[in-house]
Amino acid sequence: MEDGSGRDRARGAAAGEGERDSGPAMRRGLMGRCPRCGEGRLFAGFLRVAPRCDACGEDLGEFRAADGPAFATISVVALLLIPILGWSFVVLRPDPLTLSLIVSAAVTVLSLVVLRLTKGMWVGYLWAMDERDRGA
């Protein structure tokens, strides 16, 4: 449902809820937008998911990403930086302290950027699968 009115918000896949396509939902999440309408903001802070979409009223706070985005971020950042680290250590032969400072700064910045992107995608996927927090 993309009426954007916030009316008739049925729980789950009950009556009134259209099919939830994971592709568009993940793209909207990646852009930091509500996976349902694509207009409201997904995040209330840097990484805190907004409790409710300010455009369509979807309960975004019910879709808890937990550890998933952190795992994905570690995987992506490691896959990007390990080859670069190995190449620069062999080819450029930098001072170890210089290399460790550069790598630490790169890991920090890259992790923050990737974490926000993957968390948005993750919440979009959870929304598409209707995987709400059931308090387990």
By the criterion CB under 5 A, which residues form the site for Zn ion? 34, 36-37, 40, 53, 55-56, 58
Long-range CB pairs of 41-47 (<8 Å, 24+ gap) are 42/120, 42/123, 42/124, 43/116, 43/120, 46/112, 46/116, 47/115, 47/116, 47/119
Measured CA to CA, the distance from residue 12 to residue 81 in angstroms comes to 40
Instruction: Give least dist CB 33 to Zn ion, A.
Output: 8
Measured CA to CA, the distance from residue 95 to residue 21 in angstroms comes to 50
Give the nearer residue to Zn ion in terms of CB position, either 44 or 55.
Answer: 55
Instruction: Give least dist CB 53 to Zn ion, A.
Output: 3
Return the amino acid letter for 57: G
Instruction: Give least dist CB 6 to Zn ion, A.
Output: 8
Measured CA to CA, the distance from residue 117 to residue 54 in angstroms comes to 20
Give the nearer residue to Zn ion in terms of CB position, either 64 or 88.
Answer: 64
Give the nearer residue to Zn ion in terms of CB position, either 44 or 74.
Answer: 44
Instruction: Give least dist CB 44 to Zn ion, A.
Output: 13
Give the nearer residue to Zn ion in terms of CB position, either 40 or 69.
Answer: 40
